[in-house]
Amino acid sequence: MTIPTTLDTRMLIGGRRPEIDPARTLNVTSPIDGAHLGTIADASAEQVRDAIGAAEAAFASWRRVPGVERARLMHRLADILERDAESLAQLETRDNGKLLRETRTQARFAARNYRFFAGLADKLHGATIPLDAWDTFDYTRREPVGVAALITAWNSPMQLLANKLAPALAAGCTVVIKPSEIAPLTTLKLAEIVSEAGFPEGVVNIVTGGAEAGVALTADPRLGRISFTGSVGVGQAIQRTATEALVPVTLELGGKSANIVFDDADLERAVPGAVAGIFAAGGQTCIAGSRLLVHDSIHDEFVARVADVARGIVLGDPRAEATQMGPVASELQRERILARIDEALADGSRLLTGGTGAVAGAVEGGFFVQPTVFADVDPASPLAQQEVFGPVLATHRFSTEEEAIEIANGTEYGLASGIWSRDVTRVHRVARELVAGTVWVNTYRYSAAQAPFGGVKKSGHGRERGVEAIDEYLRTKNVLIDLSEDIRDPFAIKA
């Protein structure tokens, strides 16, 4: 597929698509073959402030739109996503290198998210609260926080944006979206989609750019919420900036997730589960099962089987049906991954397969890294402690349940984890002890619109998806009414 010449890469601010200043541009490059895909605006701080102002102005009326009407527009948005799923998937695959069959799934999963939260839009009721005094009436209202800044990563733009935009719109917020400059094209396409769906001007705004745009967006005190998906370092910087502005933040950051295989696991399911956990999407997911913990009694056999599968993974053009793993998202990302591999070799980890960027049969000019498996990895080593965000697996052996839990919890992260076992009592015991926002059992990388997602420790805080996500975009107002006819002492506080 070639990118259509009609693709509009301009930003969306208050319903307008401002022309791109030739002096402030960023290039978008395909990781598949290094081809130039287009030019986007490197927004100035003033343009970002204009976008926030447009969202603030639109909020005055959007907050009064009944939930049933917000839901209607969201269902229409989902209809368009489903109608255009193939072209959006093709665009995203060209932009970030993910397998086409995965981006197809993510386009439809995004639509499911909008439908799920559309179902909540007209159900945001408060509660009546009985107080100690008979002659008072107290109730709560759940109201939108206002303008939300939604900042997404390059690895799954459509899905990550739906995780944020769907609950924000359902809650009655207006938004300013900033996609990663590495893979912004499907987000910019959303500018056309929200217009076709009928959203009022200014409800959805999209800015693109680098550091200046990011700082201007996250430092603005007019925001009611910032939701960010990305690296720990950037998340920490956003948290510090937002603290100065007293803006609450939802952070979905990195992970170093442990996939734990016990000796009673169904190995015919666990082997492909371990492979999918790390090599699906080229390991470029925050939930990647990048640490494989295997019971000592089955360790050698199991790890050898995983390495054999990894050797046979077909790399190439992610649009081809035969391809099982595409490129990583950028040349810089490729170099970072290869540097981590060299570091692991220097630390004494034993390389079982992979370890280089040279891939036979891969697309010329693409940013490829071989599926890589290390054994005998020290749980305290950088490979076991630091997120690689690439197709690199560290394997560990354990002897007891307690040892597995200790190794699994022994990082600064706490996003996801996996347990492979037929013992239901063990599953519940271990799931209770794992310090992670998600625990998968006898599966991995399963997502659902209804299931809350988020991390603990340096993996972030707050939740996306599930009914819990809409709370990120709402605040509670308490209303207390004195029903008595008494004249109160103005200097006394009634309790």
CA–CA dist 420, 172 (Å, integer): 41
Give the range of the structural domain holding residue 223, as residue numbers without chain letter.
25-253+455-478
C-alpha distances (whole Å) from 37 to each of 170, 402, 403 are 33, 50, 49
Domain assignment present for 232:
yes
Cβ distance 40 to 208 under 8 Å?
Answer: yes
CA–CA dist 438, 6 (Å, integer): 41
The model's pLDDT over 233-274, given as tens digits with 9 standing for 90+, comes to: 999 999 999 999 999 999 999 999 999 999 999 999 999 999
Q: 54-93 burial string, b = 16+ CB within 10 Å, else e?
A: bbbebbeebeebebeebbbbbbbbbebbbebbeebbbbbb
Residue 375 belongs to a domain with what CATH number? 3.40.309.10
Residues 238 and 267 in one domain: no
Domain assignment present for 78:
yes
Residues 234 and 265 in one domain: no
Residue 195 belongs to a domain with what CATH number? 3.40.605.10
pLDDT mean over 91-116: 97
Residues 111 and 94 in one domain: yes
Cβ distance 147 to 48 under 8 Å?
Answer: no
Write out the DSSP string of 113-152. Answer: HHHHHHTTTT-----EE--SSTTEEEEEEEEE-SEEEEE-
Domain tally, the chain: 2
Query: Does 464 qualify as catalytic in the annotation?
Result: no
Looking at the DSSP bridge assignments, the partners of residue 251 are 228, 461
Written as six digits, the tokens of 377 are 């990895």
pLDDT at 361 > cutoff 70: no
- Which distant-in-sequence residues (6+ apart) come within 8 Å of 365 by Cβ? 33, 34, 35
CA–CA dist 153, 99 (Å, integer): 17
Domain assignment present for 363:
yes
Tell me which residue of 161, 200, 191, 189 sits closest to 57, measured CA to CA: 200
pLDDT at 89 > cutoff 90: yes
Work out whether strand 258-261 and strand 416-420 pair parallel, antiparallel, or are unpaired: parallel
Domain assignment present for 1:
no
Residues 203 and 59 in one domain: yes
Cβ distance 67 to 124 under 8 Å?
Answer: yes
Looking at the DSSP bridge assignments, the partners of residue 41 are 25
Residues 351 and 382 in one domain: yes
Dihedral pair phi/psi, residue 315, rounded to 5°: -100, 150
CA–CA dist 96, 138 (Å, integer): 51
Q: pLDDT value at position 488?
A: 75
Domain assignment present for 461:
yes
Domain assignment present for 270:
yes
The model's pLDDT over 426-477, given as tens digits with 9 standing for 90+, comes to: 999 999 999 999 999 999 999 999 999 999 999 999 999 999 999 999 999 9
Point out the catalytic residue in the list 92, 102, 181, 286. 286
Point out the catalytic residue in the list 92, 102, 181, 252. 252
For the chain, counts of helices (H) and of strands (E): 14, 18
Residues 266 and 362 in one domain: yes
C-alpha distances (whole Å) from 431 to each of 112, 419, 436, 458 are 28, 8, 9, 19
Length of the chain: 495
CA–CA dist 26, 181 (Å, integer): 8
pLDDT at 365 > cutoff 90: no
Cα four-point dihedral sign 429, 435, 440, 442:
negative
Residues 227 and 244 in one domain: yes
pLDDT at 495 > cutoff 80: no
Q: Could you tell me if residue 361 is left (phi over 0), alpha (psi between -120 and 50 degrees) or otherwise beta? A: left
Query: Does 286 qualify as catalytic in the annotation?
Result: yes
Residues 238 and 295 in one domain: no
Residues 391 and 408 in one domain: yes
Domain assignment present for 490:
no
pLDDT mean over 204-229: 97
CA–CA dist 236, 247 (Å, integer): 14
Residues 228 and 263 in one domain: no
The model's pLDDT over 412-428, given as tens digits with 9 standing for 90+, comes to: 999 999 999 999 999 99
Residues 203 and 332 in one domain: no
Averaged pLDDT score across all residues of the chain: 95
Please, which pLDDT band fits residue 489 given cuts at 50, 70 and 90?
A: confident
Residues 157 and 113 in one domain: yes
Please, which pLDDT band fits residue 493 given cuts at 50, 70 and 90?
A: low
Q: pLDDT value at position 491?
A: 76
Domain assignment present for 5:
no
Cα four-point dihedral sign 445, 446, 450, 452:
negative
Cα four-point dihedral sign 51, 52, 53, 59:
positive
CB atoms < 10 A from the CB of 155, how many? Answer: 25
CA–CA dist 289, 393 (Å, integer): 8
Please, which pLDDT band fits residue 136 given cuts at 50, 70 and 90?
A: very high
